[in-house]
């Protein structure tokens, strides 16, 4: 992680910190619906974030990857297909980190994540990030799109945030629930679309506003401001 470019490193560290804030709240059976390993790229594994779990399961996308995770009880799951009946409502929490952008049939995949959970879905997705094609790269979702898809699948979005470092990729982190009233005291409703960090160019500080450099326009604004004095 130390030698990773900041535009990739910063959103990963940020999303890990967001997960660390909330993961200890959740108990029961947790699943990481993964297309890769369970590693957080900071030397730990995501299973260790969920300190009050009863069980932790990892899925992978094809049987050819058997043993790739190095764990027992791996589930092989193609998110583009209809969810197998035995996985419906099997888990208390479904966690998915930067996978959906690689799945072309994204609405089916999103639906499957929601169907797998009895209650909670935790989702990390890139909103602004350069294309990376090693595994196919198809989608970027705005906060509004994420909220709409959760509503479409019978969930209430409890929490949504995004990182806002200048010159870095932007991830969104969201938590949604089928039983929102159960979590209101532990996870106060906070669906963020505007950053607390002021933009340099004067535009509204929506998600992604600081990721794209606009230096010349910012200088122009400062010159105009100076000339008006």
* Angle ∠(64,68,70) on CA atoms, nearest 5: 140
End-to-end Cα, the chain, rounded Å: 47
Rounded Cα distance between 17 and 226, Å, is: 40
The pLDDT value recorded for residue 125 is 96
Extents of the domains making up the chain? 6-193
- For 67, the token pair is 């043993």
Beta bridge partners of 96: 123
Written as tens digits, the pLDDT of the chain (229 aa) is 544 556 678 999 999 999 999 999 999 999 999 867 899 999 999 999 999 999 999 998 765 544 455 566 778 899 999 999 999 999 999 999 999 999 999 999 999 999 999 999 999 999 988 887 677 899 999 999 999 999 999 999 999 999 888 778 999 999 999 999 999 999 988 887 777 766 666 667 777 777 666 556 566 667 777 778 7
Name the helix (H) or strand (E) containing 176.
Answer: strand 170-177
- Say whether 84 sits in a helix, a strand or coil: coil
> How many residues does this entry show for the chain?
229
Rounded Cα distance between 91 and 119, Å, is: 8
Which pTM was predicted?
0.87
CATH code, 6-193: 3.40.50.150
């Amino acid at each position: 992680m130390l030698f990773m470019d900041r535009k990739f490193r910063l959103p990963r560290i940020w999303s890990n910190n967001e997960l660390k804030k909330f993961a200890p709240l959740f108990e029961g059976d947790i699943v990481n619906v993964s297309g890769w390993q369970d590693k957080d790229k900071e030397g730990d594994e995501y299973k260790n974030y969920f300190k009050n779990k009863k069980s932790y399961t990892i899925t992978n996308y094809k049987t050819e990857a058997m043993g790739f995770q190095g764990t027992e009880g791996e589930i092989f799951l193609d998110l583009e297909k209809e969810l197998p009946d035995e996985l419906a409502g099997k888990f208390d929490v479904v966690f998915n980190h930067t996978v959906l952008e690689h799945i072309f049939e994204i609405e089916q995949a999103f639906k499957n994540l929601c169907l797998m959970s009895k209650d909670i879905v935790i989702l990390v997705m890139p909103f602004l990030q350069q294309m990376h094609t090693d595994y196919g790269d198809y989608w970027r979702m705005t906060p509004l799109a994420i909220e709409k898809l959760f509503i479409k699948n019978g969930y209430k979005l409890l929490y949504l945030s995004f990182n806002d470092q200048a010159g870095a990729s932007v991830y969104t982190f969201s938590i949604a629930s089928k039983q929102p009233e159960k979590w209101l005291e532990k996870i106060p409703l906070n669906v963020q679309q505007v950053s607390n960090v002021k933009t340099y160019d004067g535009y509204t500080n929506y998600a992604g506003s600081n990721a794209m450099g606009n230096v010349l326009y910012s200088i122009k604004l400062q010159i105009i401001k100076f000339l008006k004095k």
